[in-house]
A and B are shown apart, each in its own frame.
Chain A
Amino acid sequence: MLFFALFLLAILVQFLNYWWIIGPLSFLTAFILGKHAKKAFWYGFIANGLVWLAAILIKIHDSNTTLMSRVSQMFFLPHWSSLIVIAVLIGGLVCGAGAFAGYLTYQLMQKKAKL
Chain B
Amino acid sequence: MKLLKAVLAIELIMGLIFLLTTRFGNIPPLGDVLNPATGFWNNAELESQSKKIVVQVHKTNKPVTVQYDLSAIPHIFGSNDYDIYFGQGYVTARDRLWQMDMQSRTAAGRMSEVQGEQGLDRDEYYARIGLLYAAEKSLALMQKDSTMKIVLDAYSDGVNAYIEELTPSRYPVEYKLMKFAPEKWTPLKSVLIFKLMAETLSSGANDFQMSSALKKFGPEMTADLYPDLPFSSEPIMPAHTNWLFSPVSLPEIPVNKLSVAAADLDIKRKPEGIGSNNWVVNGKKTKNGFPLLANDPHLGLTLPSVWYQLQMASPSVNVYGVSIPGIPCVFVGFNNHIAWGLTNSGADVRDWYRIRFRDPSKNEYWYNDKWNFVSKRVQKIVIRGQKPFYDTISYTLHGPIARKSGPWEKLDDEDNAVIAYALRWTTLEASEDITTFYLLNRALSFGDFQQALGFFCSPAQNFIFADIKNNIAIATGGKFPLRYKDQGKFLLDGGAPVEDWNGWIPSLHNPSSKNPEQGYLSSANQIPVDSCYPYYLGWEFGSSERALRINSWLSHTNKATVDSMQALQNDTYSTLSASMLPVLLATLDTTFGKPYKYALNELNNWDYHYDQGSIGATIFNLWWDILYKAIWSDKVNKRNQSLKWPSRDRTQRLLLMEGNSLWFDNSQTPQKETRRLLINESFVKAVDSLTARFGVDLVKWNWGNSRQCRIPHIGGIDAFGSGPFSAGGAANTVNALTEDFGPSWRMVVELGTPVKAYGIFPGGESGNPGSQFYDNFIRDWKGGRLQPLLFLQSEHDFADSARFTLTIK
Residues of A within 8 A of B (CB): 13-17, 19-20, 23, 27, 52, 55-56, 59-60, 62-68, 70-71, 73-74, 83, 86-87, 90-91, 93-94, 97-98, 100-101, 104-105, 107-108, 111
Q: Is B9 touching A105 in the complex (CB atoms < 8 A)?
A: yes
Cβ distance A103 to chain B, nearest Cβ, rounded Å: 8
Q: Which residues of chain A are within 8 angstroms of B768 by Cβ–Cβ distance?
A: 67
User: Given that A71-B719, A107-B2 are known contacts, is A66 also in contact with B36, CB under 8 Å in the complex?
Assistant: no
Chain B proximity of A73: nearest CB distance (Å): 4
Partner of B37, one of A13, A23, A74: A13
- Contact indicator B772/A17 (Cβ below 8 Å): no
Q: Are B45 and A90 in contact (CB under 8 A)?
A: no
Residue among B10, B20, B33, B36 with the most chain A CB within 10 A? B36
Given known contacts A94-B13, A101-B10, A66 and B2 CB-to-CB distance under 8 angstroms: no
Asked whether A27 lies within 8 Å of B13 as measured between CB atoms, the reply is yes
Does B6 sit within 8 A of A, measured CB to CB? Answer: yes
Are A83 and B34 in touch, CB under 8 angstroms? yes
Take A64-B772, A104-B2 as given contacts and tell me if A16 and B43 are in contact as well, using a CB distance cutoff of 8 Å. Answer: no
Pick from B39, B48, B167, B771: contact of A62, CB under 8 Å: B48
Q: Tell me, rounded to whole Å, the shortest Cβ–Cβ distance linking B776 to chain A.
A: 11
Residues of the A chain whose Cβ atoms lie less than 8 Å from the Cβ of B16:
23, 93-94, 97
Q: Which of B10, B12, B41 has the most CB of A within 10 A?
A: B41
Per-position 1/0 for B767-804, Cβ under 8 A of A: 01111101000000000000000000000000000000
Pairwise interchain contact B37-A16, C-beta atoms closer than 8 A: yes
Contact B35–A87 (Cβ < 8 Å): yes
A73 touches B719 (CB 8 A): yes
Q: Known A90-B30, A93-B16, A97-B9; judge A64-B38 contact (CB<8 A).
A: no
CB-based contact B38/A19 at 8 Å: yes
**Counting CB contacts under 8 A, is B513 at the interface?**
no
* In contact, B37 and A14 (Cβ under 8 angstroms): yes
B241 CB–A CB distance under 8 Å:
no
Query: In the complex the two chains form, what is the Cα distance from A23 to B17 in whole Å?
Result: 8
A-B contacts, 10 of them at CB < 8 A, read A16-B37, A56-B41, A64-B44, A67-B769, A70-B720, A73-B718, A87-B34, A87-B35, A108-B3, A108-B6
Report yes or no: B36 in contact with A90, Cβ–Cβ below 8 A.
no
Other CB < 8 Å A-B pairs besides A52-B35, A63-B46, A107-B2, 18 of them? A13-B37, A23-B17, A62-B46, A63-B45, A63-B770, A64-B772, A66-B769, A66-B770, A67-B769, A71-B173, A71-B719, A86-B30, A86-B34, A90-B35, A91-B35, A98-B13, A101-B10, A104-B5
Q: Which of B1-38 contact A (CB under 8 A)?
A: 2-3, 5-6, 9-10, 12-13, 16-17, 20-21, 30-38
Chain A: which residue is nearest B167 at the CB level?
A: A17
Contact between chains at B20 and A74 (CB < 8 Å): no
Picked from B10, B34, B719, the residue with its CB within 8 Å of the CB of A70 is: B719
Minimum C-beta distance from A94 to chain B (A): 6
Whole-angstrom CA separation of A64 from B44 in the bound complex: 7
Q: Please provide the 7 A-B residue pairs with the shortest distance between their CB atoms, ordered closest to farther.
A: A67-B770, A55-B36, A101-B9, A63-B44, A19-B35, A73-B719, A74-B719
| Complex alpha-carbon distance, A98 and B44, angstroms | 30
The total of Cβ contacts below 8 Å across the A-B interface reads: 133
B34 to chain A: closest residue by CB:
A87
Chain B residues near A105 (CB-CB < 8 A)? 6, 9-10
Known: A66-B769, A94-B20, A101-B10. A59 touches B45 (CB 8 A): no
A55 touches which of B3, B30, B37 (Cβ 8 Å) = B37
Could you say which residues of chain B place their CB within 8 Å of the CB of A64? Answer: 44-45, 47, 770, 772
Instruction: Please indicate which of the listed interface residues B31, B35, B168 has the most CB atoms of chain A within 10 Å of its own CB.
Output: B35
* CB within 8 Å for A66 and B772 given contacts A56-B36, A94-B13, A104-B6: yes
Give Cα A55 to B41, complex, Å: 10
Interfacial chain A residues near B39, Cβ < 8 Å: 19, 87
Closest to A13 in B: B37
B32: min CB distance to chain A, Å: 7
A17 to chain B, nearest CB (A): 5
When chains A and B are docked, how far (Å) is the Cα of A13 from the Cα of B45?
Answer: 23
Contact between B37 and A17, CB atoms less than 8 A apart: yes
Interface on chain B toward A: helix, strand, loop, or mixed SS? helix
Cβ contact within 8 Å between A52 and B36: yes
Evaluate whether A20 and B17 lie within 8 angstroms (CB atoms) in the complex, with A66-B772, A67-B45, A71-B40 already known. Answer: yes
Interface of A is mostly: helix
Interface assignment of B717: CB less than 8 Å from any CB of chain A: yes
Contact A97 B12 (CB under 8 A): yes
Most buried by B among A56, A86, A108: A108
- Bitwise interface map of B from 171 to 182 toward A, beta carbon under 8 Å scored 1, else 0: 001000000000
Residue of A nearest to B772 (CB): A64
Chain B residues within 8 Å of A83, by CB: 34
Take A20-B21, A101-B6, A104-B5 as given contacts and tell me if A74 and B717 are in contact as well, using a CB distance cutoff of 8 Å. yes
Q: A67-B173, A97-B16, A98-B13 are contacts. A74–B718 as well, Cβ < 8 Å?
A: yes
| Minimum C-beta distance from A54 to chain B (A) | 8
A93-B16, A94-B20 given; A60·B44 CB < 8 A: yes
Shortest distance from the beta carbon of A61 to any chain B beta carbon, whole Å: 9
Complex CA distance for A78 and B676, rounded to whole angstroms:
54
Q: Report the Cα distance A14→B37, complex, angstroms.
A: 5
Say yes or no: A94-B43 contact (C-beta < 8 A), given A52-B35, A104-B6: no
When C-beta atoms are compared, the residue in chain B nearest to A44 turns out to be B13
Task: Tell me which of A15, A62, A97, A108 contacts B13 (CB under 8 A).
Answer: A97
Complex: A87 Cα to B41 Cα, angstroms: 11
**When chains A and B are docked, how far (Å) is the Cα of A41 from the Cα of B292?**
72
The answer to whether B169 has its CB under 8 Å from any CB of chain A is: yes
Q: Mark B611-634, 1 if CB is under 8 A from A, else 0.
A: 000000000000000000000000
Q: Which residues of B contact A93 (CB under 8 A)?
A: 16
CB neighbours (8 Å) of B706 from chain A are none
Instruction: Looking at the assembled complex, report how far the CB atom of A71 sits from the nearest CB atom of chain B, in whole angstroms.
Output: 6
Instruction: Determine whether the beta carbon of A94 is less than 8 Å from that of B770.
Output: no
Which residues from A are CB-within-8-Å of B720? 70, 74
A57: min CB distance to chain B, Å: 9
Please report the C-alpha to C-alpha distance between residue A105 and residue B39 in the assembled complex, in whole angstroms.
31
CB of A90 within 8 A of CB of B719, answer no
Inter-subunit contact A20/B31 (CB<8 Å): yes
Q: Please, how many angstroms separate the alpha-carbon atoms of A56 and B20 in the complex?
A: 18
In the complex, what's the smallest C-beta–C-beta distance from A82 to chain B, in angstroms?
Answer: 11
State A107–B10 Cα separation when bound (angstroms).
Answer: 13
Interface presence of B42 (CB below 8 A):
yes
A67 to B168, CA, bound (A): 18
Instruction: Specify the chain A residue showing the minimal Cβ separation from B14.
Output: A23
State whether A68 and B44 are in contact (beta carbons under 8 Å apart), knowing that A15-B37, A19-B32, A94-B31 are contacts in the complex: yes
**C-alpha spacing A71/B176, complex, angstroms:** 12
- Chain B residue contacts of A14, Cβ below 8 A: 36-37
- Set of chain B residues within 8 Å of A71, measured between Cβ atoms: 33, 40, 173, 719
Please name all residues of chain A whose beta carbon is closer than 8 Å to the beta carbon of B13 when the two chains form the complex: 23, 27, 94, 97-98, 100-101
Contact with A along B724-755 (1 / 0, CB 8 A): 00000000000000000000000000000000
Residues of B within 8 A of A19 (CB): 31-32, 35-39
